[in-house]
Chains A and B, each alone.
Chain A
Amino acid sequence: MSGPAGASPDPLLTVRDLRSYLATGHGVVRAVDGVSFTVGEAEILGIVGESGCGKTVTCRTIMGLMPPGTAYSSGEVIYHPRGERSILAASQGQLQDLRGAQLAMIFQDPMTALNPVLRIGDQLLEAVNAHAKLSRADARARAIDLLTRVGIPAPARRMRDYPFQFSGGMLQRALIAIALASSPRLLLADEPTTSLDVIIQDQILSLLLKLQQDTGMSMILVSHDLAVITEVCDRIIVMYAGQVVEEGDAATIITAPRHPYTQALLDALPQAGQRGQLRSIPGAPPSLIDVPGGCRFAARCPLVTDECLTWETELLDTSGPGHRSRCLRHDEVGKAGAWQASGSA
């Protein structure tokens, strides 16, 4: 299975057949079950899907942040600036080198993502000093500069504060500053706006976009909220039950989705001027322990046929360049009558 074709920027990170399984007392949870994608230089990739689809586990596996006694993984994660060897089985020392300086991550809930008993400044300095030998004055100057760039007012004073003295939005900005401290080339943002209120969400997203443009770094933005993804991303992959079900560039996926699940997600977005009930997707995602054979979306799919239930799924090329879908009837998605009558654009 080759990687997606025709990605114009140079590839920065290639993920190939990534699998991440968790060994629990209830059985093996196949959280990520064969995911492949590429992120190019200065590109923003969006990963969208409902809770439990495996998008967070994907990011954590790439960073090597899965719990050691429980998590098992296979596949390849290639960070091209460091050669063609997979970093998935890298040693502790190699991982340490990469983290912060090349790859960085910000997490969903800013309230718990910072050490509550250390000052913000100390935690930021820790990041600044992780990969550079700076004098105390220089390190402090860089820290203040970072805080200013993420839009925290009175940075010198706020460095002495503790996390509990910051609001949610401010904490998230601080976390972004920490993530950028060693100038990484790839930032993984896992639901960075989910626990913030709508106005702050907007601010944080604009901040991320601006920082990306200023630094030219790549980004993987993970969210269950398609609206957030569509605002910011160049390319999108849609995940369901541990697999990629659709991938392509953002504009095409939004206007002409080629997988019933993507179509359903789009339909579920509230539209201005829409009347009537909000549309949700009936049913629930399948168990990740006893994974059903055939297409995993079959139980909830309006286009399902008998063939879908036994098909060994794979990503199929569709009409658009670089646009692939894990659906036998991908060319019928979006036609009138395929879903319930939609008034969406």
Chain B
Amino acid sequence: MSRFGSMPRRLVHLVILMFGITLVTFFLLRLIPGDPALAILGSSYTHERAVAIDSTLGLDKPIWTQYGLFLGRLSHGNLGFSFFYGQSATTVIAHHIPPTVFLIAYSAVLAALISFPIGFVAGLRRGGIVDQSSRVFFTLSFAMPAFWLGIILILIFSVHVHAFPLSGFGRGFAGHVYYLFLPALTIALGFSTVLVRSLRAATISTLQAEFVDTARMKGIRWSQVLWKHVFRNAILAVVAVYGVNLAYLISGTVLVENVFSLPGLGTLLVNSVSTRDYPVVQGVTLLFAVLIVGINLITDITQAALDPRVGQEIGA
């Protein structure tokens, strides 16, 4: 695998993937059984309004032309027109991005803060108190649906103990951190189960590696061995898992936003379903897919930075 060829090849892959994503989201609209205009207008159906909707959605043209138009509009950042809000879908969607992105990043950080120490210690002292209790705790929390866990956390920490607010996004960075603590914690707990298990296994297997013995043999402090050699290598296995699960957990944000009434993309998506605001549904779906591709990219880059062997393969 030459240092030369890998980067361009990955970019090509990425472009093909993006095209595929647009194709899928485009075809979502075609799933509507019957007449979309009828579904949107409901009781306020008139022939003129239907025709107007048809042309806005581009439904009156042959299918490949529609796709071409769709792509064309996309390249200008135009995601269509929101029937419910009466504005460009892009504007509506853009307003809802910050809470979601903040929540995802916050959850990612919290998950690392929770699971890295626990996973590492569980692996170091196998069968110890941290290991056993964390296993029980996380088996339970894994089975809890994110939205229910969120409600329980609200019950305990907002209702009974007035420590955190019930809902909302808050103002300013500090406000966000405060308001989003419970939602981020909800997501992070679900996430952490896999991370703890993964880091624990990686720690156990790294401890048996011969280079750990070489390090010990030098006569350096055990803490240095643990950090520079054991942790530094165990964490590699977790990064890949981290990325994959973070992408998976984006689904969780949709539910959590709902529970905590956060004005993010998830809430927008669900509301748009009930209001039959199809362009917005389409646009949000597209955006989520792009988000996932972005997260995977970040994961790959992080892996390359941490592991020189991977770095060489990617040609980074």
Contacts and interface: CB of A to CB of B under 8 A. Distances in A.
Check A-B contact in the complex, CB < 8 A.
Answer: yes
B219 A117 contact: no
Contacts of B312: 164
Nearest to B307: A117
B283 to A, nearest CB: 41
Interface string A94-126: 001111110011011100111111100000001
Contacts of A101: 219
A37 interface: no
B309 A113 contact: no
B243 to A, nearest CB: 18
B176 interface: no
Size bracket, chain A contacts: 35 or more
B220 A107 contact: no
A182 B214 contact: no
Interface stretch (A173-181, A211-219, A223-231, A244-252): A173-181
A69 B126 CA distance: 9
A99 B218 contact: yes
A65 B307 contact: no
A178 B218 CA distance: 8
B214 A96 contact: no
Interface stretch (B106-114, B165-173, B227-235): B227-235
Contact of B228 (A69, A96, A116, A118): A118
A100 B218 contact: yes
A97 B221 CA distance: 10
A158 to B, nearest CB: 15
B15 interface: no
Interface in B196-253: 208-211, 213-222, 224, 228-229, 232-233, 236
B309 A116 contact: yes
A107 B208 CA distance: 13
Contacts of A115: 211, 214-215, 228-229, 232-233
B227 to A, nearest CB: 12
B308 interface: yes
B306 interface: yes
Interface of B: 126, 208-211, 213-222, 224, 228-229, 232-233, 236, 306-309, 312
Q: Which 7 A-B pairs have the closest CB atoms?
A: A100-B219, A99-B219, A127-B218, A112-B210, A113-B210, A100-B218, A115-B211
Given A104-B217, A117-B236, A175-B214, 19 more contacts: A69-B126, A96-B221, A96-B222, A100-B220, A107-B213, A109-B210, A112-B210, A112-B211, A113-B210, A113-B211, A113-B213, A115-B211, A115-B215, A115-B233, A117-B308, A118-B229, A126-B215, A126-B228, A164-B312
7 contacts: A65-B217, A115-B228, A115-B232, A118-B228, A126-B228, A127-B218, A130-B219
